[in-house]
Amino acid sequence: MKGRIIKILKFVLPLGIGVYLSWYFLSGLSDEDIQQTKDAFYNANYFWIFLSLIIALAGHLSRAYRWLFLLEPLGYKPKLKNAYHAVMSGYIINYTVPRSGELARAGLLTQSENVPFEKGFATIVVERIIDVLMLGGIVLLTTVLQTNSDQFEKIMDSGGEGSSMLIWYILGAGLLMGAVGFIVYLKNQKIKSWVNAKMLGFWEGIKSVWTMKRKWEFVFHTFFIWGTYIGMMWVSALAFEETRNIPLEAVLAAFVVSAAAIALLPGGMGVYPLWVTAVLSMYDIDFAAFGIFVWVSQTLLILALGLLSLAILQWRKK
């Protein structure tokens, strides 16, 4: 009973925060903003929206294909379709508990391709480390491109004091859970032996980054993936008259805060449009509909493809 309650809280808590922030964002919209959003959905050039979705899909496929490069040195050659379905299923599961999709992704590959969970998860950790480095590079580039020296500080603080406190609460909870887990590890010999065995397989997965054969292809796909993320937002801007001439530095700044929003809450719910709107206003782009539109279109894509992939993998199990 207790375990079931914890599972429910893990789902309800982040979802509840996301719903609250969505309400907070929407309640702050003026009648003019609401009408502007309705007009945007009606008048958008859907050719560019469709193209942005194709670009996003290309990035998802590239991520699945790049994953194979890390698994190959471990002696596993999964089918691309299974890797893709695991990636997309992981995205949809991230909408429940943030970052839980990484665990699910490794588990789904274990079911479909018999890749040991700890090794598959280790390669995902490698991916995430590289992703953090890529995001750091984009943050640096965004900083360099700002013409106003105070601009980037405002961008990073665009979520306001409440959002900053939320980040600290989440970090604090994570540290507390880590401390409790470490104490349990030290006190329970059975758990300690199990963890040590899993960590050995995990280390083998981590080492795959040094032993993979197709390093340059891995580098190419890494830049391609992140290029699709930024390209998706830039192409989406072409769909609206208000954002058609958006400068590169504004696109990068909006992307940085949107990436932070997605990392913070399931799919960036509530925070994504709030922060993107705040950033664009710094560039005299008063168009709240853009953040809402991009978030809705990309979320619908993830929901459609993720649920389809999850259904396919579950159907194969039967």
Mean pLDDT for each consecutive 10-residue tract of the chain (318 residues)?
47 49 52 67 88 95 93 86 92 76 87 85 84 86 68 50 48 59 61 55 59 84 95 93 89 88 76 84 84 87 88 75
pLDDT of res. 10: 46
Helix (H, G, I), strand (E, B) or coil at 146: coil
H-state helical runs in the chain: 2-27, 31-43, 46-71, 80-93, 100-113, 117-145, 151-156, 160-187, 189-206, 208-211, 215-237, 248-264, 271-281, 288-317
Alpha-carbon span 314 to 132, nearest angstrom: 31
Q: How many CB atoms lie within 10 A of CB 245?
A: 10
Side-chain half-sphere of 316: how many Cα atoms within 13 Å?
14
Q: Which residue has the tokens 């279109």?
A: 297
pLDDT of res. 123: 86
Contact 29, 37 (CB under 8 A): yes
pLDDT of res. 206: 60
Contact 37, 289 (CB under 8 A): yes
Please, what's the b/e burial string for 143-179 (b: 16 or more CB within 10 A of its CB; e: otherwise)? bebbeeeebbeebbebbeeebeebeeebeeeeeeeee
pLDDT of res. 125: 82
Task: Give the domain ranges of the chain.
Answer: 44-317
pLDDT of res. 192: 55
pLDDT of res. 221: 94
What's the whole-model pTM score?
0.74
pLDDT of res. 285: 86
Alpha-carbon span 142 to 139, nearest angstrom: 5
pLDDT of res. 9: 43
Contact 228, 59 (CB under 8 A): yes
Helix (H, G, I), strand (E, B) or coil at 75: coil
User: Exposed (0-12), middle (13-18) or buried (19+): which is 300, by Cβ within 10 Å?
Assistant: exposed
